[in-house]
Amino acid sequence: MYMLKNVLRNLSGKPATRLYPLEEREPFPAYRGVIHNDVQACIFCSTCARVCPTGAITVDAKAGRWEYDPFLCVYCSACVEKCPTKCLKQESIHRKPSVRKFHVLRTGTPRVKKARADAAKARTDTVPAAAAKTEGEAD
């Protein structure tokens, strides 16, 4: 008899759990969600990869590659806290369930290469036309 009462109460009442894919709750204020890298501000120093406890981040400074595996990440925010340029952010967006594993790959120009390219461009932009002509004639 006791079980019949429970069955009837559960059939006529509200579910005890959320209907997750159909009903999402708002993230709470201290929620640490998906990691996003602003690759333009990144200096590819590998600090985030070194402090990541699960090895979810790999950085190739020479090639300007920053790779992130969200399936290895435990969202501890160690990488966000230690980033010297603050280019890593944790958005308060919950990652949707996925049937396929994927990696987030960001590529950019490493700061050293970018600085050299900018300096070379600045040199060619600031050379006066007359000086460039005389330099070309001297060769």
Read off the CATH number of the domain in which 107 is found: 3.30.70.20
Higher pLDDT, 92 or 63: 63
Per-residue pLDDT of 92-112, as tens digits, reads: 777 676 677 767 777 777 665
Query: Among 87, 75, 77, which residue's Cα sits nearest to residue 45?
Result: 87
Residue 90 lies in a domain: yes
| Comparison of pLDDT for 113 and 137, the residue scoring more | 113
Query: Which has more pLDDT, 89 or 108?
Result: 89
Q: Which two tokens stand for residue 73?
A: 């990440």
Residue 94 forms part of a structural domain: yes
Does residue 78 surpass a pLDDT of 50? yes
Which pLDDT does position 139 carry in this prediction?
A: 43
Q: Domain span at residue 56?
A: 35-113
The closest of 97, 106, 85, 111 to 36, measured between CA atoms, is 106
Does the reported pTM lie above 0.75? no
